Amino acid sequence: LQKILIFLHVTTCVVIGKTLMILFPNAMKRYILKQGKKSRMNENPKFSYENWGPTFFSFNYLLFVLKVKWKRLEDEAYEGHPAPNTPVVTFNGELRHLFDFMQDNRPLILNFGSCT
């Protein structure tokens, strides 16, 4: 049921976005560039709007957003329920799963940080 609701929501957003891109291309370009500022996508001089802007609201965009949102459903954690076995990447670039790091009955401690 959650996947169906996500599909309907994302599809509606893509259809509306594509329609607005056709009807109001300049306004949508400004909107997309504004969104690009949030992700700092605009800061790369070798990566212009013409490279990535038209991909917004395309069929590939729809498939990508659905894939990400559906994957996030599997990674949600709820109090009192088992933790999800989320995929993680090691320092060596190896793809593992969270439960691969558990040992016997010892608690698994996750430490998050940022080096920016």
Q: Residue 104: how many CB atoms within 10 A of its CB?
A: 4
What percent of the chain has a predicted confidence (pLDDT) above 90? 28
What's the DSSP call for residue 13? H
Domain ranges of the chain: 1-75
Contact 91, 76 (CB under 8 A): no
Half-sphere exposure of 47 (CA within 13 A, CB side): 10
pLDDT for residue 23: 95
pLDDT for residue 115: 67
| CB proximity list for 37: less than 8 A, separation 6 or greater | none
pLDDT surpassing 80 at residue 76: no
| CB proximity list for 83: less than 8 A, separation 6 or greater | 77, 98
Whose structure tokens read 């996750």?
110
Mean pLDDT of 15-27: 93
Confidence class for position 20, pLDDT limits 50, 70, 90? very high
Confidence class for position 116, pLDDT limits 50, 70, 90? low
> Is the entire prediction scored with pTM above 0.85?
no
From the list 57, 86, 61, the residue with the least C-alpha distance to 74 is 86
